Amino acid sequence: MFYSLKYSNIFLRAGLALVFFWFGIDKFIHPDYWLNAWVPEKIIDFISNLNLRGGELIFLSGIFEIAVAISLLTDIFAGTFSFLAALFLAGIFIFNGINEVLIRDLGLIGGLLSVFFWPRNRRNGGLR
């Protein structure tokens, strides 16, 4: 059997990137759904104090998710973006509680932390 850290990392990053790209793009296509279904009222109240509207928060979230996807695909700052994305998903859990989405997000967090802790060659940034 053929085993490779390099290829397993590529497949991991590509799978995660697909998920983040999909959800990031969908936030631009269906912003009202994301705002009404997933953003708690207390978050909307908080961001209104920062002179942001709910739709703007959704668009910023979409931009962040697309940036995560690009980072994972290109392996540029993939560790940093994977850690930030894991924090982002943990924040969703904190504000929305336990539900069916939490189970998906726990799997994504595990994958993102795997990318974050993946062994890298310090000299050239490549995989060992």
Q: How many CB atoms lie within 10 A of CB 62?
A: 20
Q: Which two tokens stand for residue 16?
A: 């995660």
Report pLDDT digits (tens) over 70-120: 999 999 999 999 999 999 999 988 888 888 888 889 999 999 999 999 987
CA-based torsion, 67, 73, 77, 81: positive or negative: positive
The letter for the amino acid at 124 is N
Q: Please, what's the b/e burial string for 46-58 (b: 16 or more CB within 10 A of its CB; e: otherwise)?
A: ebeeeeeebeebb
Report pLDDT digits (tens) over 5-37: 889 999 999 999 999 999 999 999 999 999 999
pLDDT at 128 over 60: no
CB proximity list for 73: less than 8 A, separation 6 or greater:
13, 14, 17
User: Would you state the pLDDT for residue 77?
Assistant: 97
